[in-house]
Chain A
Amino acid sequence: MRVQEQAMRVREQAMRRALIIVLGLGPMLVAGLLAAQNIDYQPDPSWQAPAPAAARPNPQAGSPELAAGGRKLFLRICARCHGAEGGGLKNAADLQLPVVQRQTDGALFWKITNGNQRRGMPSFSGVPEMQRWQIVLYLRTLAAEKEKQK
């Protein structure tokens, strides 16, 4: 009987500890995510895609399944500066912000292709063209994810 009581007490203690960890880590995780987001990001006004480039449609717009490949590329190429969820680290843009998401697919493609030397973003023209469009496709899902979180 005493053995059973002791086992129950140990189980209760373990559950209490798990609850403390979850309650403690939850706000920390949220705070971490918020801190990882570069909400103060100010776009470079002189970094604008030329009108013909901005007007280019994404040739993969009708194939949303390709966004999964875009996510893989994003994590490899972009996440180091923009964060795994695109929230922006250091000086890099928060890609979830409306100021970014309002831009056309063509404008985002142009920015990936050309980079912005003033802000330290390299040109990624070495990445195959269709893969750059895949990244654009994935960037659109970041906005959808944010809406879902609301």
Chain B
Amino acid sequence: MNLRNLPLAVVLLALTPAVFAQDTPYFVTYDHHLEEPGNLEISVSNNLGIPRTGQPVFAAPLLELEYGVKAWWTTEFYLEGQSRERDSTIFTGWRLENRFRPLAREHRINPVLYFEFENVNEGSRIMKELVGHASSFDEPNADLRRAHARELETKLILSSTAHDWNISENFIVEKNLTENEGYEFGYSLGVWRPLARIASAKDCRFCRENFIAGLELYGGLGSTEQFGFHDTAHYLAPVIRWNVTDDSAIVLSPAVGLTSGSNPLLLRFKYQYEVNGFGRKVASLFRSKQ
């Protein structure tokens, strides 16, 4: 790309009209609603972890770029970091994920296939998914950042719409390609519902139709070496999403740890912005003038 086009690209991004994103309030669970083709969703989020007494509080920020390639294919790129009380702030790695919806129509259960490649270090605490056993967080960031892991993660996403309720189940399998740890397993379950069924005629921002509430339950299920609930972390998390404008939303979720291996509390926050027709605008920059 010619650098002269960069300011133009920024202007195009800013001028791109707003669109209504299909709302999903989940932080960990995925449902079957993919990104609209050609649209880009930019999200910034943070996972604030309140650990047990005596351990430092941590914050794990995350940048997500989600793009709708086709109506049946969504791709997403992540950059993540971590900052810890009385320690340092580090870059913890990147992830690339792809979601495919094999069935064209709506069904009672809508499957989605998920594949993700992760290049992260042991300092990662975004907790986009929980797999395997609960991990300790005693080592300093300087040591954690040296331990790299390339991982392949797959999910089977099953999602249903029953009237206005969404019910989703995710089954996770993860393989560390750097070290032989066997296969690690995890799960995530979620339900959400809009607070209002009917849209009012007025253009309001605080009315119920702009809010979606839900509940998530997620955790690890051990590995091929030791499958089950022993020494695993699990969280129960109410979620609420507020569509601030037609193209942006704020999502909040306090997650309560359910086992001794979990943090007592996670506070999750996300801001999303949807850019309509991003692919078309970028392609137009490279098109011949004739």
Interface residues of A (CB under 8 A from B): 65-66, 68-73, 76-77, 80, 113-115, 117, 120-131, 134
Contacts and interface: CB of A to CB of B under 8 A. Distances in A.
B161 A125 contact: yes
Nearest to A127: B22
Contacts of B277: 80
B33 A129 contact: no
Q: Which 10 A-B pairs have the closest CB atoms?
A: A68-B201, A126-B22, A69-B199, A76-B20, A130-B197, A117-B71, A126-B33, A128-B164, A77-B20, A114-B105
A80 B201 contact: no
A132 B2 CA distance: 44
A120 B200 CA distance: 29
- State the main secondary structure of chain A at its contact with B: helix
Given A68-B201, A114-B106, A122-B68, 13 more contacts: A69-B198, A72-B199, A72-B203, A80-B277, A117-B72, A120-B37, A122-B36, A122-B37, A125-B33, A125-B161, A129-B163, A129-B164, A130-B164
Interface of B: 17, 19-20, 22-24, 31-34, 36-37, 68, 70-72, 104-106, 161, 163-164, 166, 194, 196-201, 203, 209, 246, 276-277
A114 to B, nearest CB: 5
A114 B106 CA distance: 6
Contacts of B105: 114, 123
Q: Which of A65, A125, A128 has the most CB of B within 10 A?
A: A128
B20 A129 contact: no
Nearest to A135: B199
Contacts of B194: 128
Contacts of B71: 115, 117, 120-123
A76 B246 contact: yes
Contacts of A123: 33, 71, 105-106
Interface centre among A68, A77, A123, A124 (most CB of B within 10 A): A123
A38 B104 CA distance: 25
28 contacts: A68-B201, A70-B199, A72-B200, A73-B20, A76-B19, A76-B20, A77-B19, A77-B20, A114-B104, A114-B106, A117-B70, A117-B72, A120-B37, A120-B70, A120-B71, A123-B105, A123-B106, A125-B32, A125-B161, A126-B31, A126-B166, A128-B194, A128-B196, A128-B197, A129-B163, A130-B198, A131-B197, A131-B209
